[in-house]
Chains A and B, each alone.
Chain A
Amino acid sequence: MAVVKVKRPDLNAGEKLFLGAIVKGFFITMRHAFDSLRGKTRGADEMASSGLGATMQYPEQRWDEHMPEYYRGAPALVTDEQDRERCVSCQLCEFICPPKAIKIVPGEIPSDDAWAKVEKRPQEFDIDMTRCIYCGMCEEVCPEQAIYLRKDYLISGLNRKEMVHDKKKLYEIGGKRVGLVNKWNELK
């Protein structure tokens, strides 16, 4: 195969002085400055900017409608159409969780319950949101489609205890989810 030798072009006198490049740089930075002061930054519209630069200013503006489908926010538990807890406390998520944020206390479903054949449900289900890394492994590993990462990202608390989501809070975030596989009932 023929080898093509390409010689890098030498700099001419003007390029060696660098002054032209520096002046050009001033024009570029000043153009950006004027554009962003006039609210005409390139890409400001797609980014839904606040009018200064390309930045969206957070508490007043939210990017909720720009959020992609695959966004991973706070993990939450869901119920099915008949308000049954989908979680059967198999503890797979607890064991897969890389930062060990999930803690489950399994409990038995009493035999007089309508869903007695499911046998187990969580007695307590805590996710420590100071530990959670939003990796989504719990969602991936769940055999019952019971835990999902929702789009909630505003998680705050005044102390560590408030940052632990208990079962009630998790169902509150998760809510009802329809259209999933129903393997414990005849709902078709």
Chain B
Amino acid sequence: MEILIPLLIILAKIVGLTFMVVLPLVPVCVYFERRFSAVIQDRVGPNRVGIPLTLFGGKKDIPLFGIVQPVADAVKLLLKEDFTPTNVRTAFYWLAPALTIVPSLVTVCVIPFGSPLTVNGEEIKLVIADLDVGPLFIFAVSSLTVYGITLAGWSSNSKYPFIGGVRSTAQMISYEICLGLSIIPVLMWYGDLNLSNIVEHQSKNGWLLLPFWGESAPWNNGGDYTAWLFWFPAVIAFLIFTISIFAETNRMPFDLPECETELVGGYHTEYSSMKFAMFFMGEYAAMVIGSALIVTLFLGGWSLGPSFDQWSAGLEIGSVGIGGLLGLAVFMAKLIVFILFFILVRWTVPRFRYDQLMRLGWIIFFEVALINVFLGALVIAAPHLGIVITLVGAVLLAAVSSALIWVLKVSDKREDPNTGLLASN
């Protein structure tokens, strides 16, 4: 009995958070994507599909602004013929869609979705597995997605998917490094890899990008400006991390593995029906998890300022503290705003050329992230080192950075492109 109840709670969390929070977010994303892109391009977007009462003998349909459109899409994809071309490598062809969607959904388990619920005085954290290696776990598992994409490209036995798969691999290699390096200063600041504790810390001491309350504010901690100084490495980390997440989830400026204009459909060209839908869902689930990670690390997770957090923590219905659900709502709101930002970027920034992407990953972000690690360390260590050593460190860092920039500039000198007769002009 003692073992049964925790197991049941875990099962409820898995079902509740994965299948009732993250998976429904996927169609919501698709709907937002279509409506938002339509509005950006002066169109209308899907606004018809509602509750089809006429199918059941009613007089009129209820349109509901087309919110039911994703359901119609899902039904269409489920009922389509699941076609397997003759010359594919069947085992891998069938494995690939699962390999893309499963890692995305597995990573859900370390995201803290809300502040803890209390039932009969017992605290239930709104996170499936409260691992002490949160971000590392996410990086480890989410990079498995690329196997699915590469296998799909290879096993399809077709040229465009193959190119898409190879591109995906190369892109992953260029971006995983700065993805991991960029958050090292952030993790040094928290001194913790447990995402629940990170959010708890931000709830008490101000978000990483908004250090205005608790211990972070200089008027509360006796004139210590470390948190405010750390804002600069934090913003650099935020930018690099966000852009790397775009590349990681194959979103628009870096959607080279599936760019329609160049590769038909990329790695999922040969897929149809539910297998295609699984790629699609995997991609959007990765986007949801990516945004969730960014919100958790930089934007305070489920917290909304100290007064709100304290107020919601005290809320109770009977013996159940429902503050966690409010935290969940706040987290969802932040998540959706960030997803809208993802969509805005997709419909604003044109696709990078392939060499530009590799250059951005290897030459710019890698170095910036590396320097940022030392910058963050310097800011954190400054109060303990004293002013002289800190200044020496800053000068050393500046010297190393400029040397690095100089080396990159010299080593990156490209030959003049062969412009033929134009060169003589």
Residues of A within 8 A of B (CB): 5, 7, 22, 25-26, 28-30, 32-33, 35-37, 41-42, 44, 50, 52-55, 57
**CB-contact partner of B43 in A25, A30, A37, A53, under 8 A:** A53
Residues of B within 8 A of A (CB): 36, 38-44, 47, 344, 347-349, 425
Judge whether B42 and A53 touch: CB under 8 Å.
yes
- A33 with B36: in contact, given A7-B425, A53-B43, A55-B44 (CB under 8 Å)? yes
Please give the distance in Å from B421's CB to the nearest CB on chain A: 12
Interface centre among B36, B39, B43, B349 (most CB of A within 10 A): B39
Measured between beta carbons, the chain B residues less than 8 angstroms from A32 are 39-42
**CB-contact partner of B40 in A7, A29, A54, under 8 A:** A29
Measured between beta carbons, the chain B residues less than 8 angstroms from A33 are 36, 39-40
**CB-contact partner of B42 in A7, A25, A30, A54, under 8 A:** A54
Judge whether B44 and A29 touch: CB under 8 Å.
no
Measured between beta carbons, the chain A residues less than 8 angstroms from B39 are 32-33, 36-37, 52-53
Measured between beta carbons, the chain A residues less than 8 angstroms from B347 are 29
Interface centre among B44, B47, B344 (most CB of A within 10 A): B44
Judge whether A26 and B43 touch: CB under 8 Å.
no
Extra A-B contacts (4), CB below 8 Å, given A22-B349, A42-B42, A57-B44:
A32-B40, A33-B40, A37-B39, A41-B42
Measured between beta carbons, the chain B residues less than 8 angstroms from A41 are 42
Q: Would you give 28 A-B contacts (Cβ < 8 Å), ordered by A?
A: A7-B425, A22-B348, A28-B348, A29-B40, A29-B344, A29-B347, A30-B40, A30-B344, A32-B39, A32-B40, A32-B41, A33-B36, A33-B39, A35-B42, A36-B40, A36-B42, A37-B39, A41-B42, A44-B42, A50-B44, A53-B38, A53-B41, A53-B42, A53-B44, A54-B43, A55-B42, A55-B43, A55-B44
**CB-contact partner of B348 in A25, A35, A50, under 8 A:** A25
- A52 with B41: in contact, given A25-B349, A26-B344, A30-B344 (CB under 8 Å)? no
**CA gap between A55 and B44 in the complex, in Å:** 7
Q: In this complex, what residue of B is CB-closest to A55? A: B44
